[in-house]
Amino acid sequence: MLEGSILQQLEAAHQDSKRPLNFGVYYKNTLVALCHALEDFILKSNSSPLMIAAFQRGKWYLEEADRYGEIAEKTTHVAIMAAAESGFAEHPTSQRENVDLVSLDPVDPVAQEWHLIVFSPTYTAMVLCQELSDGDYGMAGVPSEDIKRKFYGFWTFEPDLVQETVEIAIAHIGRYNPELQQSLTAQMQQLTAKVGTEPRDDLGVVVHQVVDYLQNSEQILAEPHGTKAEASAIYEQALGDNLVSNEIQAFLRMAQLMDQANTDNSLSTAEVATMAETMGQLLDLPAWQLKRLRLAALIHALVPSMRSEIPSESEESTEEMAPCCQLLPSVQALRAMPQMTAIAQIITHQTEWWDGSGTPGALAYDAIPLESRILALVADFQRRVNQIRKAEQSLSREEALSQSLAECQSQSGQAFDPKLVDTLALMVMGMQQGMDLQTNQPKIAAGMWLLDSHPHEKAQLNAVTKKT
């Protein structure tokens, strides 16, 4: 990373952090899609954010200046950093009272960065990247085609991290324009004072929009006369994988933010994923199924938040709603991704009951996908353990595990698959005897490792769909 760049300053501040930053490599087309999705949600947000962007060069800003004019109408202020070029300051958007341009010195390390930082009391998002150096490209050399340019960094919805980055960016702006620095600092103080006083914007809608934009980029690449036709086969696969990886990351980042909001246990989702994977190993599931189970477990919390939105049988018949159960936008976005259809199926049906009295499809017994049954059981068990330990702090870990297991066993044959409850008992026995289930946060910037395919997976999925 370039010394003194915004990315490098943020990375240095988090070297000893318990939550290290998840860096990855992004192609330009991925960043364009990401930024457009995150920018456009400003128009739907419940509040007016402060937005800071870095475009490297003025010509890249000019390509976006018209849409930035529309966005500026909804923002508190827009600050744009870039190495100035012809037309940089003359565009109508640049003349708006709440838009300020910061002409970077070409040797400024930020002139090699691509940033989008959005902060308001109800919506925070950030893309923070730095273009690879000539040496980073290796023997292949710097690409001649714009679409093949690569950037190193990450993106997130985390409010604290976005606020920290805004402050670093404002300080950098102060080197060029101290008055603007003072104005932006005052605006940030006003915005942060309102945090928590208004409901947060629905991240599910943002995630849906991110996936839509990334999928549109995939379609453009697939056009016979599009940029994909001009790229080599190796780049075709790399560009497509980069887009899909970020679609997966969108869901993982949403789940991560939900975990961070859990003051009782910020590792809740990671614990469920670890236990689900361990149970899958005890059941001797194949590797492809374990990966699928782990990914579903990492984003399973998207479903409990929508339970109240699932219509009862009195409102809509089970037969009518089962194939495409009414879902939050985030889960609908899952269904739209071919690579994630099975995952959507798993998390949708984790609320089914073994005896058929659950929702949304009233499935029973083996008609419920195995991964859904596993996920339902371990998520319920993990929740009970946390609740018991919080309510009765005098209990030991072993006692809390036993009590939680007993409560799950009481619902064996009704809510849960009896065979899986037996497997859970075996896993709990191992935990009580010292078996260590290591819980780690997933490396979000490398989402593709969670996907694996199986030749019979589509047929299996179609069979489950017909049963629902």
pLDDT tens-place string over residues 389-430: 888 888 888 899 999 999 999 999 999 999 999 999 999 998
Q: What are the C-alpha distances in Å from 125 to residues 28, 156, 210?
A: 18, 6, 12
Class of domain 267-467: mainly alpha
pLDDT value of position 225: 45
The pLDDT of residue 391: 86
Amino acid letter, residue 389: R
Neighbours of 42 (CB within 10 A): 23
pLDDT along the chain (468 residues), means of 10: 92 81 85 92 93 93 93 96 88 93 94 95 94 79 76 90 96 97 96 91 84 77 51 60 74 71 68 91 91 86 46 36 46 70 86 92 93 95 90 86 95 96 94 74 53 46 43
pLDDT given for residue 459 in this prediction:
40
At residue 270, the pLDDT reads 83
CA distance 47 to 38: 14
pLDDT for the residue 237: 67
Residues of the chain with CATH 1.10.3210: 267-467
Q: Per CATH, is 6-199 categorized as 3.30.160?
A: no
Whole-prediction pTM value? 0.74
For the chain, give the mean pLDDT.
81
- Interacting residues of 427 by C-beta distance below 8 A, sequence separation 6+: 275, 278, 279, 282, 435
Model pLDDT for residues 123-179, shown as the tens digit of each residue? 999 999 999 887 777 777 777 777 778 899 999 998 999 999 999 999 999 999 999
Task: Tell me the CB-side half-sphere exposure of residue 174, using CA atoms within 13 A.
Answer: 11
CATH 3.30.870 spans which residues of the chain? 6-199
